[in-house]
Chain A
């Protein structure tokens, strides 16, 4: 019986042949996000960490390049928490600013005015209506609650930047 079945199947295979053909494609993003300048915190007093250069900090800079106009929007946010830190007894208040430091075209001078803010002001969205590059800076300050001194150790906070389709 098995032999029959096998035979039949072979006969069927000859009579009605078919194939599945894969169609592949690669889409390369026309938007690129690169860290131009890495940031670090300065420690002007026991309970403050800040990226301000006046406090020996460094404001990070992100380069966002879009080769297509009106195709992408850039989302950039300053940190609202430490990604790693010593154990803290009090809460930490984060403040920050996201701003365009420079651009490759005067046509992008309206980006700041047209940008929108979400996540309690932490995230700013720029609509990339022109092809070109913008350089975005993310300043950040963290103050330990009650003005208590930060415990000794390493503190890491992440400023996020992404490019998504409109």
Chain B
């Protein structure tokens, strides 16, 4: 009874110990009819069990049977089937398997088993930029044709720049005409005014550096002796005044 047959994960350690099956045969009394419930042996040839009921010449009666089996690993159970021979059919059939489970037969089934080995963490994938396809593509040698295309593009860019330059020059000429037009208007205004303002507007102050012309040299300054004498007199005078109040 493998995983695809059982439709569920088959774990190591599960043993089948019996089968309970039931079905309802449909037949006429006189007809020969047999029904066999069986399971193929996935570990070898033949069947793990086969149980046949012969209804030939018998009344149909609903069968409900319990089959005891020696403990058989579930991995050995192959495809199960209910085969019939003769004239008749079955309906409302079901097959139930009895089992036991030894969780520690494969210690990895349960962390509490004695020989359980904690699984290793999954390997970490190291990123190598040199192996990256995008990087390889980006660093790949450029195609020569693409270089030619670049030269063509450069030439076309130069032509576009020439055109732009011509447009700029034409724009400057247009501005010149505009300026000239302004100048003409200014001359008209000047003729209309009695005061000539051009001297004020046109006056230009030349830039000049004004350097310090004086240079003071340290020639030494002697003490003023007259001041010392005056200070001495002042002290004497002050002493005399204080004498009056003693």
Which A positions have Cβ atoms within 8 angstroms of B? 100-110, 112-113, 133, 135
Contacts and interface: CB of A to CB of B under 8 A. Distances in A.
Interface string B63-101: 111100000000000000000000000000000000000
Contact of A135 (B53, B54, B59, B64): B64
Given A102-B22, A105-B53, A106-B53, A112 B63 contact: no
Nearest to A100: B61
25 contacts: A100-B61, A102-B22, A102-B64, A103-B61, A103-B62, A103-B63, A104-B65, A104-B66, A105-B53, A105-B63, A106-B53, A106-B54, A106-B63, A107-B58, A108-B61, A109-B55, A109-B58, A109-B59, A109-B61, A110-B58, A110-B59, A112-B59, A113-B59, A133-B66, A135-B64
Among B22, B61, B65, the one with the most A-chain Cβ atoms within 10 Å of its Cβ is B61
Contacts of B107: none
Contacts of A110: 58-59
Contacts of B55: 106, 109
B153 to A, nearest CB: 89
Contacts of A101: 62
Interface residues of B, number: 14
Contacts of B59: 109-110, 112-113
B65 A109 contact: no
Contacts of A103: 61-64
B64 A106 contact: no
A125 B154 CA distance: 112
B13 interface: no
A102 B23 CA distance: 9
Contacts of A109: 55, 58-61
Interface string B21-63: 0100100000000000000000000000000011100111111
A102 B61 contact: yes
Nearest to B53: A106
Contacts of A102: 22, 61-64
A100 B46 CA distance: 35
A135 B66 CA distance: 13
B25 to A, nearest CB: 8
A106 B58 contact: yes
A108 B55 CA distance: 10
B210 to A, nearest CB: 124
Nearest to B60: A109
Nearest to B61: A109
Contacts of B62: 101-103
B58 A105 contact: no
A109 B58 CA distance: 6
Nearest to B66: A104
A106 B66 contact: no
Interface string B118-155: 00000000000000000000000000000000000000
B212 to A, nearest CB: 126
Nearest to B62: A102
Contacts of A106: 25, 53-55, 58, 61, 63
A104 B64 CA distance: 5
Contacts of B53: 105-106
Contacts of A107: 58
